[in-house]
Amino acid sequence: MRADRLVATLLLMQSRGRVTAGELARELEISVATARRDLEALSTAGIPVYPQPGRNGGWSLLGGARTDLSGLSATEAQALFLLVGPAAAVAPEAKAALRKLVRALPDTFRADAEAAAEAVVIDPARWGEHVKERPEMVRRLQEAVVRRVKVRLSYAGRGQTGSERLVDPLGLVDKDDIWYLIAGTEKGQRTFRVERITEAVVTELPAERPADFDLATAWTRVVEEMERNRSLLTATVVMQERFLWVMQDRLGRHCEVIGPAGEGRVKIEVTAPTPLMIAQHLAGWGGQIEVLDPPSVQAELARLGQELVERYRD
């Protein structure tokens, strides 16, 4: 008898209180005879399962016994269903997993968990677009991460010729619809942009995975390093406070408020790797903003302005 079928049988009895061999057979897609043997085996193994003869009989857990096979607390169950619930709208596998997990929860947890699962709906498609399917390359790499086997990558880095390397896949990250692979290499942990992977061959070689590796922690370090590299230069800017939310929406963490500048204005700091990149961010504001420093950003803005004047003079 398969262990997963035993667990499924217990979960079903826990959910319904009483089942017949026929109901169990239909639910688990097995024969009635197999369902009856499973129930008898549970009883023989010491599980408090017993038959009730008669027209309305069936099999029940002794005394209405309940076991939280999931091991979750009430708060943990709600948090889990709140996270997984939105995915069920677009992923049939997630919906099936939720149904099975509901059966593993005690009655006192079940209502709140189901409510949490239905509290949020996430629509990943923009207006006028269809839901994007997960790229085939991502699915292939995910399989390697789960199986913990090495992958041979053909990778074309930015401004570089393609290269091949054998990596230990550690995890995948989806950041604003751009996928990244974090993997171990001969030179240490590296991050690969999945769309630049031209080929990925999943091997049967076991991958090495550090015992203390945590994907969320690793990605936080990657983000912090990238943000540092993107924030090498700071410009001090004065703008109307009523438009501050627009600047913050466009630049995110690269726009920091210093304080009020009088007459309804506010002083901010804008960061980017180069003076030109800061100027490109600010040029569209025209005379609505004033760059106080550094001179290098002021010079780039003046140059961009002159180019536009020459282009559209007539």
Query: What is the residue extent of each domain of the chain?
Result: 3-64, 136-213, 231-311
Segment among 9-18, 168-177, 234-243 with least mean pLDDT: 9-18
CB atoms within 10 A of CB 142: 16
Q: Angle 174-177-179 (CA atoms, 0-180°, nearest 5)?
A: 45
pLDDT at site 59? 82
* Sheet containing 49-52: order of strands: 18-19, 58-61, 49-52
> Which of 2.60.40, 1.10.287, 2.30.30, 3.40.50 would CATH assign to domain 136-213?
2.30.30
pLDDT at site 300? 94
In tens, the pLDDT along 280-299 reads 999 999 989 999 999 999 99
Reduced to 3 states (helix: H, G, I; strand: E, B; else coil), residue 90 is coil
pLDDT at site 166? 94
Distance in angstroms (rounded) separating the CA atoms of residues 163 and 272: 29
For residue 238, report the phi and psi dihedrals to the nearest 5 degrees: -115, 135
Mean pLDDT over all residues of the chain? Answer: 82
pLDDT at site 33? 85
Give the end-to-end CA distance of the chain in Å, rounded to a whole number. 85
The topology under which CATH files domain 3-64 is Arc Repressor Mutant, subunit A (1.10.10)
In tens, the pLDDT along 245-293 reads 999 998 888 899 999 999 999 999 999 888 999 999 999 999 899 999 9
Residue 65 has pLDDT above 60, yes or no: no
Residue 214 has pLDDT above 60, yes or no: yes
Query: What is the helix (H) or strand (E) element at residue 116, kind and residue range?
Result: helix 107-117
pTM of the model as a whole: 0.55
Residue 185 has pLDDT above 70, yes or no: yes
pLDDT at site 1? 44
The topology under which CATH files domain 231-311 is Alpha-Beta Plaits (3.30.70)
pLDDT at site 253? 83
Residue 88 has pLDDT above 70, yes or no: no
pLDDT at site 84? 67
